[in-house]
Structure 1
Amino acid sequence: MLLLLAALPPVLEEAVLVGIGFIGARALAPQATAAWPYDSYHDLRWLMVYHNSWGQFLFGLLGVVVVRGLLSAGLTALAWPAQAPRPPLGWLVRRNLQVAALAAVIISPWAALSVAFSVVALSWYLLASLIPMLVLAPFLQRAGVTGTWWRGLPTIELLGWSALNFALLTLAGAVISSTRGGWGVVVAGLAGVANGLLWRQTVKAAVLPARIRWPRVPVAPVAIGLTMVAAVAAQWLIGLALGKPGEWMPPVVSERLPDRVPHAVIAIAGHDSSWNGRPPVDPRVERFSYQGLDKQGRPLPYAPEATHRSLESSAALLAAHVEALHRRTGRPVALLGSSEGAMVARTYLEKWAKPTPVDAVMLFSPLIRPGRAYYPPPGHSGWGVATGWELRGIFWLANLGREVKSGPDEPFVRSVLSNAPFYRNRTLCPVPGVRMVAFLPTVSAAEAPPGEYSRVPVFQLPAFHGGLVGRRAAENRVIDFLAGGRIDQPRREYDLFQRLGSAWQAPSLALGLNPVWAAEREADPAFTGRICEPR
Structure 2
Amino acid sequence: MGPKGRLAGLLVLAALPPVLEEVVLLGVGLRAARGLAPQVTAVWPYDSYHDLRWLLVYHDSWLTFLLGLAGVTVTRGLLSAGLTALAWPAGVPRPSRGWLVRRNLEVALLAALVISPWAALSVAFSAVSLSWYLFGSLGPMVVLAPFLARAGVVDRWWRGLPTIEMFGWSALNFVVLTVAGALITSVPGWWAVGVAGLAGLANGLLWQRVVADAAVPARVRWARVPVAPVAIVLTMAGAVWAQSLIGIAAGRQGEWRPPILTHRLPDRVPQAVVVLAGHDSRWGGEPAADPRVERFSYRGLDAEGRPLPYRPEATHRSLDSASVLLAAQVDALHRRTGRPVALVGESEGAMVARTYLEKLPRGPVTATVLFSPLVQAGRTYYPPPGHAGWGMAAGWELRVISWLANLPRSVKDQPDGRFVRSLLIDAPFYRNRTLCPVPGVRMIAFLPTISAAEAPPGEYSRVPVYEEPAFHGGLLGRRTAEDRVVAFLAGEPVEHPRREYQTLQRLGAAWQAPPLAVSLNPIWSATREGDPARTGRVCEPR
Q: TM-score range by the shorter chain?
A: over 0.9
Distance in 1, Cα, partners of 2:314 & 2:213: 54
How far off its partner does 1:487 sit?
1.0
How far off its partner does 1:244 sit?
4.8
Letter in 1 for 2:235: T
Aligned pair 1:301/2:304, yes or no? Answer: no
SS at match of 2:203: helix
Letter in 2 for 1:224: I
Instruction: State the match for 1:522 in structure 2.
Output: 529
- Are 2:251 and 2:280, in contact at CA under 8 Å, matched by a contact in 1? no
How far off its partner does 1:247 sit?
3.6
* Root mean square deviation of aligned Cα: 0.7
SS at match of 1:291: coil
SS at match of 1:265: strand
Distance in 2, Cα, partners of 1:475 & 1:418: 34
Q: C-alpha offsets along residues 477-522 of structure 1, whole Å, 9 cap, x if unaligned?
A: 0110011111110001101000000000000000000000122211
Stretches (4+) displaced over 4 A: none
Q: Structure 2, unaligned stretches of length 5 or more?
A: 1-8
Distance in 1, Cα, partners of 2:417 & 2:268: 41
Letter in 2 for 1:384: G
- Are 1:33 and 1:192, in contact at CA under 8 Å, matched by a contact in 2? yes
Q: How many residues are matched? A: 534
Instruction: State the match for 1:53 in structure 2.
Output: 61
Distance in 1, Cα, partners of 2:242 & 2:255: 20
Aligned pair 1:202/2:210, yes or no? Answer: yes
Distance in 2, Cα, partners of 1:89 & 1:249: 65
How far off its partner does 1:243 sit?
4.9
Aligned pair 1:291/2:291, yes or no? Answer: no
Pick from 424, 436, 442 the counterpart of residue 449 of structure 2: 442
Could you tell which deviates more after superposition, 235-244 or 436-445?
Answer: 235-244
Instruction: State the match for 1:22 in structure 2.
Output: 30
Q: C-alpha offsets along residues 163-212 of structure 1, whole Å, 9 cap, x if unaligned?
A: 00000000000000001211000000000000000000000111111110
The equivalences for 1:92-241 within 5 A come to: 92-241=100-249
- TM-score of the pair, normalised by structure 2: 0.98
Identical-pair percentage: 72
Q: C-alpha offsets along residues 48-77 of structure 1, whole Å, 9 cap, x if unaligned?
A: 000000000000000010000000000000
Instruction: State the match for 2:460 in structure 1.
Output: 453
Instruction: State the match for 1:471 in structure 2.
Output: 478
Distance in 2, Cα, partners of 1:384 & 1:238: 22
Aligned pair 1:310/2:284, yes or no? Answer: no
Distance in 2, Cα, partners of 1:480 & 1:191: 47
Instruction: State the match for 1:388 in structure 2.
Output: 395
Distance in 2, Cα, partners of 1:203 & 1:232: 32
- TM-score of the pair, normalised by structure 1: 0.99
Letter in 1 for 2:35: A
Q: C-alpha offsets along residues 261-317 of structure 1, whole Å, 9 cap, x if unaligned?
A: 111000000000010011111101000000000011100000100001000000000
Distance in 2, Cα, partners of 1:510 & 1:85: 48
How far off its partner does 1:260 sit?
1.1
How far off its partner does 1:401 sit?
1.4
Instruction: State the match for 2:384 in structure 1.
Output: 377
Distance in 2, Cα, partners of 1:473 & 1:97: 55
Distance in 2, Cα, partners of 1:112 & 1:352: 34
- Are 2:301 and 2:308, in contact at CA under 8 Å, matched by a contact in 1? yes
SS at match of 2:523: helix
Distance in 1, Cα, partners of 2:87 & 2:378: 41
Q: C-alpha offsets along residues 239-269 of structure 1, whole Å, 9 cap, x if unaligned?
A: 2223552342110011111111111000000
Q: C-alpha offsets along residues 292-351 of structure 1, whole Å, 9 cap, x if unaligned?
A: 000111000001000010000000000000001001101010000000000000000000
Q: Structure 1, unaligned stretches of length 5 or more?
A: none
Distance in 2, Cα, partners of 1:241 & 1:400: 19
Distance in 1, Cα, partners of 2:29 & 2:525: 20
Instruction: State the match for 1:78 in structure 2.
Output: 86
Letter in 2 for 1:482: L
- Are 1:232 and 1:394, in contact at CA under 8 Å, matched by a contact in 2? yes
Instruction: State the match for 2:5 in structure 1.
Output: none
Instruction: State the match for 2:6 in structure 1.
Output: none
Letter in 1 for 2:514: P
Change in Cα spacing, 1:244 to 1:359, as seen in structure 2 (3 Å) is closer
Distance in 2, Cα, partners of 1:520 & 1:315: 21
Instruction: State the match for 2:504 in structure 1.
Output: 497
